[in-house]
C-alpha cells in the first residue's frame, strides 16, 4: 500500500467513527478512531521509510502490450464487470493476461 492508500483508509475509518458517535456507539467509535489513527501513522512511517517509489531495474521491467483503449486506464488496465460491481484484468491489454509473441515479424496474442 502507498502512503496515500493508508491515508484514504484512515479517512474512511474516521468517517465510520463519526457515524458511530452519532449513533451513540461509544466503544465502537473509540476503537474505530484508534484504527484510523494507526492508518495515519502507518502512512507517515511508510513515507519516511520509503519516500520515493522503488525503481525496478530495466532488465526486470515487463514490456507492456499496447493499451486497448477500452479498459479503465492505461495504468490499471482493468475492466468493469457486472455493471461496475467488480473489476478484472483486461483480457486485451493487461500484461498478466496477454503475452505478445514475435513470429516472423507479426505479433500474435496468446491468452494465459
pLDDT confidence tier of residue 112, bands split at 50, 70 and 90: very low
One domain for residues 107 and 66 = yes
Task: Give the model's pLDDT for residue 56.
Answer: 60
Residues 63, 106 share a domain = yes
R_g of the chain, CA atoms, integer Å:
21
Rounded-to-integer distance, Cα 90 and Cα 53, Å:
25
State the total domains in the chain.
2
| pLDDT class of 23 with cuts at 50, 70, 90 | very high
**60 or 28, greater pLDDT:** 28
Both 80 and 39 in a single domain?
Answer: no
Overall average pLDDT of the 3-32 stretch: 90
Tell me how far apart the alpha carbons of residues 40 and 35 are, in angstroms, rounded to a whole number.
Answer: 9
Q: Do 74 and 42 share a structural domain?
A: no
Domain of 13, in residue numbers: 3-49
27 and 70, same domain (yes or no): no
Mean pLDDT of 90-102: 67
- 41 and 63 co-located in one domain: no
C-alpha cell at 45: 512511517
Per-residue pLDDT tens over the stretch 36-93: 999 888 888 877 776 666 666 665 556 778 888 888 888 888 888 877 677 888 888 8
Amino acid at each position: 500500500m502507498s502512503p496515500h492508500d493508508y491515508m484514504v483508509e484512515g479517512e474512511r475509518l474516521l468517517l465510520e467513527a463519526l457515524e458511530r458517535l452519532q449513533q451513540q456507539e461509544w466503544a465502537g467509535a473509540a476503537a474505530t478512531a484508534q484504527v484510523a489513527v494507526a492508518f495515519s501513522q502507518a502512512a507517515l512511517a511508510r513515507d519516511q521509510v520509503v519516500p520515493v517509489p522503488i525503481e525496478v531495474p530495466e532488465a526486470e521491467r515487463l514490456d507492456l502490450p499496447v493499451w486497448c483503449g477500452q479498459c479503465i486506464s492505461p495504468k490499471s488496465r482493468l475492466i468493469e464487470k457486472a455493471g461496475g460491481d467488480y473489476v478484472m484484468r483486461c483480457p486485451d491489454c493487461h500484461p498478466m493476461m496477454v503475452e505478445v509473441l514475435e513470429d516472423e515479424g507479426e505479433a500474435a496474442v496468446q491468452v494465459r
